[in-house]
Structure 1
Amino acid sequence: MITFEQVSKNYSHNKATVKVLDNVNLQIKDHELFGVIGESGSGKSTLLRMINTLEQPSQGTVKVAGVDVMQLNEAEQRQNRKQIGMIFQQFNLLYNQTVNENIALPLRLNKTYDQQRVQEVLDFVRLSEKGEHYPKQLSGGEKQRVGIARALITQPKILLCDEPTSALDGQNAYDIMELLRRINQTFGTTMVIVSHELNLIKQLCNRTAILEKGKVLETLAIQKGQQQPQFETYYERVRESLG
């Protein structure tokens, strides 16, 4: 369970106080696909970064599994982050390193390198033959798969997804959405997905919070009947949509 209890975040800018989050209350259940939707500047990314303590609230409490993460010391915060993976809009890959090296980076930093584990994750994201390629040799969708594989390599309990499909075209965005769904179904990973894209949230998430100017206006359950059926191929999806 991830909980936000009366969380606010203020910044100082030109001697004025800017309120980025305003008295946010949320509960995100274990194993849930939870969306946060809002326009640019609504505070989505700030909210997301509080879960892995990259941002701290000006007031209020953020808890993960019942623990107030802002009360952890630096070593405890680092340990907590090992349980939380992050997926970025612009992939954040190292372009002078191979796919294998990018995926293995968290293991190397933790001194737990395991090539078999790297290959297992590569297989899961369906990039088995791309391990020795460099990011410049990959499509946008493949780069995001590498980013997802890197996030999965430490077997996190929580995945934070910051606009995970915004940099992708229609088919690649759809494929990444289906990969995220498969991760949740296979590993039971709790996911928090922030996006301004209504379709992504509608098709992927179980519930979503609507964020506007730092305030949660409402938290809605998304009915399963609203979600599109899954398709194995682009052809099947287009045929169903146009038929």
Structure 2
Amino acid sequence: MITFNQVSKSYTHNGATVTALDHVDLQIQEHELFGVIGESGSGKSTLLRMINTLEQPSSGSIKVAGIDLMTLSESQKRQSRKQIGMIFQQFNLLYNQTVNENIGLPLRLNKEYDRQKVQEVLDFVRLTDKGEQYPRQLSGGEKQRVGIARALITQPKILLCDEPTSALDGQNAYDILTLLRRINQTFGTTMVIVSHELNLIKQLCNRTAVLEKGKVLETLTIQQGQQQPQFSTYYERIRESLG
């Protein structure tokens, strides 16, 4: 569904040329949970931003559902982005707007606001009674659930997750991981999860690309036996780990 063919990205910083991506080849299948793991500065976020056309490659081609993104006009790029949801590390919520208003923002921008859709997605992320609250009244995990609900409101075919759990503690991180898995299982959403956290990638993804200094060192398949068992509570996970 998503194909990178010899994609490179360079830019100039303080008079020096910096290579963010270096001849990257990737194939991400439809409905797949695909990880991209690497240290800070490895090019992970640049790769993610290219899928939703926020950055253009210096060379090479990127195709989504068979369409070469380099051939799209600006208006076509905007249409393409409607099929792609984005989840951010720091939530990116509007703190002067309620949860309902934050989630409904993409619909309002497209002049398609539907209160029922907002409530349905609130129910799905298990924030049914939080719609009239403001982000400052929520925990970190709840804020990320709002961010996920906002990404889901347009029913995207692709969900891009940029360090989705790194700002959260153990239980909240685990709950978000479980929610992402449920989204994939319920809607068949293709997900690209960028992280430096090996455990997140290991527990959630089917395959992962290992990125270092802009190069894909290897694409690894994660065996189901390697993925950690699912537990309903934090206590159960601790008990299993320490027992």
Q: Corresponding residue for 2:106?
A: 106
Secondary structure of 1:63's match? strand
Q: Corresponding residue for 1:145?
A: 145
Q: Corresponding residue for 1:70?
A: 70
Secondary structure of 2:218's match? strand
Per-residue CA deviation, residues 140-199 of structure 1 (Å, 9 max, x unaligned), is: 000000000000000000000000001001110010000000000000000000000000
Instruction: Give me the whole-angstrom Cα distance separating, in 2, the residues matched to 1:122 and 1:235.
Output: 26
Instruction: Give me the whole-angstrom Cα distance separating, in 2, the residues matched to 1:228 and 1:25.
Output: 29
Secondary structure of 2:61's match? strand
Which AA in structure 1 matches 2:159? Answer: L
Provide the TM-score with structure 2 as the length reference.
0.99
Which AA in structure 1 matches 2:62? Answer: V
Q: CA RMSD in A?
A: 0.6
Per-residue CA deviation, residues 92-132 of structure 1 (Å, 9 max, x unaligned), is: 00000000000000000000101110000000000001000
Residues 1:123 and 2:123 aligned together: yes
Instruction: Give me the whole-angstrom Cα distance separating, in 2, the residues matched to 1:242 and 1:117.
Output: 43
Count of residues in Structure 1 that have an aligned counterpart in Structure 2? 243
Instruction: Give me the whole-angstrom Cα distance separating, in 1, the residues matched to 2:106 and 2:130.
Output: 19
Misfit runs of 4+, over 3 Å: none
Residues 1:170 and 2:170 aligned together: yes
Which AA in structure 2 matches 1:3? Answer: T
Q: Corresponding residue for 1:38?
A: 38
Instruction: Give me the whole-angstrom Cα distance separating, in 2, the residues matched to 1:46 and 1:112.
Output: 30
Q: Corresponding residue for 1:5?
A: 5
Which AA in structure 2 matches 1:125? Answer: V
Per-residue CA deviation, residues 3-40 of structure 1 (Å, 9 max, x unaligned), is: 00000000112222111100000000000000000000
Deviation, 1:200, is: 0.2
Per-residue CA deviation, residues 53-88 of structure 1 (Å, 9 max, x unaligned), is: 001000000100000112100111000000000000
Secondary structure of 2:101's match? helix
Q: Corresponding residue for 1:235?
A: 235
Q: Which runs of 5+ in 2 are unaligned?
A: none
Which AA in structure 2 matches 1:136? Answer: R
Q: Corresponding residue for 1:218?
A: 218
Secondary structure of 1:21's match? strand
Instruction: Give me the whole-angstrom Cα distance separating, in 1, the residues matched to 2:53 and 2:83.
Output: 12
Instruction: Give me the whole-angstrom Cα distance separating, in 2, the residues matched to 1:183 and 1:79.
Output: 22
Provide the TM-score with structure 1 as the length reference.
0.99
Q: Corresponding residue for 1:158?
A: 158
Secondary structure of 2:131's match? coil
Secondary structure of 2:161's match? strand
Percent of paired sites with the same residue: 85
Which AA in structure 1 matches 2:214? Answer: G
Instruction: Give me the whole-angstrom Cα distance separating, in 2, the residues matched to 1:113 and 1:150.
Output: 12
Which AA in structure 2 matches 1:85? Answer: G
Instruction: Give me the whole-angstrom Cα distance separating, in 2, the residues matched to 1:41 and 1:50.
Output: 16
